[in-house]
Structure 1
Amino acid sequence: MNNINLFNGDEINQKTILGHPSGLFTLFFTEMWERFSYYGMRAILVLFLISSIDNEGWGWERSDALVLYGWYTGLVYITPIFGGLIADRFIGYRK
């Protein structure tokens, strides 16, 4: 029986931080700040829209601000589906 070694040794020289690949920390912090900005925007969007113009807001009615908030939240979750379809069907790497 032949013993074939598929290990090429590159994994030994890979930098790790706390036992994880260093790229994982870049990924973590990118995702963390993306989520921070998203939830931060959700938290202050309506407050900014309904604040008076004198208070550096836009002075919208509360109901109009909530409609925009609903559209914003809905589009945040629905547009990745369309982006994925476009990427897979038209500009994907298997095209």
Structure 2
Amino acid sequence: LLNEYINNYRFGFSEDLRKKVYDSGIENLYFSYAGEINSNKGFYYRIQGGSLLIEYDNIQNDANHVHTVVRDLSNDWAESILKNHYDTQH
């Protein structure tokens, strides 16, 4: 399941994310699930560990409206221009 998400990114980014996840320890990832086992009912799951957070939410419109997100919590809002400035200029 983890690789399904990571492989959806362009190659360079996906390999960087995969390395970060495995370097921080695949054994440190946790999976949680809420909802019915029957796929016709709404459900939610989350994969989290290290700096990775993946959420899948399918509870709206009789479980017919999916939201999913993949976040790198160490760089949550893309590149940190201010941090890069401080690191290189100060």
**Fold shared by both chains (TM-score > 0.5):** no
> Whose helix fraction is larger, Structure 1's or Structure 2's?
1
> Whose strand fraction is larger, Structure 1's or Structure 2's?
2
Q: Kindly name which structure, 1 or 2, has the bigger radius of gyration based on alpha carbons.
A: 1
TM-score, scaled to structure 2: 0.29
TM-score, scaled to structure 1: 0.28
Higher relative CO (Cα under 8 Å, sequence separation at least 6) belongs to 2
